[in-house]
Amino acid sequence: MKRIARSTMQTAVNLVFFAVLGTAILASTFFMTHDAIIKSEEAEKLKLITQIVPPELFDNDIIQDKLTIQPSGSLGTDDVTTAYRARLKGEPSAVVLESIAPDGYSGKIWLILAVRANGELAGVRVVAHKETPGLGDYIELPKSPWIKGFDGKSREVYKEADWKVKKDGGQFDYMTGATITPRAVIKAVNKALIYFGENRDKLFVANEPKKEVSK
């Protein structure tokens, strides 16, 4: 009995030793790579943002000028997302929003869109999707310029009924055989613009970058 207890203890100590060792290695790697990971994630985000926000539209550090957005039905988001503000000489010029189209052909389509201060779209990009390769994936920029059809559009330029594919009586192009995908994207972009219209002041004003306090 004693012998069994002892060998059980030894085994347990052995397992604990390796668990502690593994945790130590992981923790140190985490701390060593943490800054580099954040940097590369920010660089990737900035690359995406500069695709849809023209450089002449902002002179601020857009990645740092962020605002937490609560989950919203209009944006299709279930979690807190981050909006980035573009400013020119301190004046807000555009805001970058994340939005999710819930009704793609194979599930959610993640979008990022930039809206100018006047409610006009500066650009839209698809960040992630599961649409059929070769069929529904023309919403990606490298595959087709379709997504650029949103540039310069707003709820002023196109009325509510225009935010549909041409087949449904709207203004947007689509490719035969894959209409569910663009329908979902157009609907999501329209809803995001409605969200922008309703929350415009909150988006731009809240959380102004701190001005230096002169003594």
Partner 1 sequence: MNLQETRDILHNGLWKQNTGIVQLLGMCPLLAVSSTVVNGVSLGLATAVVMALSGAAIAPIRSYVPNEIRIPVFILIIAVLVTVVQYLMNAYMYGLYVVLGIFIPLIVTNCIVLARVEAFASKNSALPSALDGFAMGLGLTAVLGVLGMMRELLGKGTLFSGIDLALGNMAQGWVLHIIPEYKGFLLAILPPGAFIGLGLLIAGKNWLNLRAEMRRKAAHSALDKSTAASA
Residues contributing to the site for partner 1 (CB under 8 A)? 7, 10-11, 14-15, 18-19, 22, 25-26, 29-30, 33, 36-37, 40-41, 43-44, 132-135
Of the pair 50, 154, the CB lying nearest partner 1 is at 50
- Least Å distance, CB 212 to partner 1, is 34
According to DSSP, residue 166 is labeled G
Sign of the CA dihedral 155, 59, 96, 205? negative
Residue 100 contacts residue 130 (beta carbons within 8 Å): no
- Least Å distance, CB 41 to partner 1, is 7
Distance of alpha carbon 107 from alpha carbon 76, whole angstroms:
12
Of the pair 45, 187, the CB lying nearest partner 1 is at 45
- Least Å distance, CB 203 to partner 1, is 28
- Least Å distance, CB 156 to partner 1, is 36
Of the pair 134, 169, the CB lying nearest partner 1 is at 134
Enclosing H/E stretch for 162: none
Of the pair 15, 157, the CB lying nearest partner 1 is at 15
Of the pair 138, 196, the CB lying nearest partner 1 is at 138
* CA-to-CA separations, 2 to 7, 50, 80, 200, in angstroms, rounded: 9, 69, 56, 73
According to DSSP, residue 59 is labeled -
- CA angle, 9 then 15 then 16, to 5°: 90
DSSP string, 105-124: TTEEEEEEEEEETTS-EEEE
* Single-letter amino acid, residue 120: E
- Least Å distance, CB 44 to partner 1, is 6
Closest CA to 112 of 195, 199, 37, 189: 189
- Least Å distance, CB 12 to partner 1, is 9
DSSP string, 138-166: GGSTTT-GGGGGGTT--TTTS-GGGSSBG
Of the pair 117, 175, the CB lying nearest partner 1 is at 175
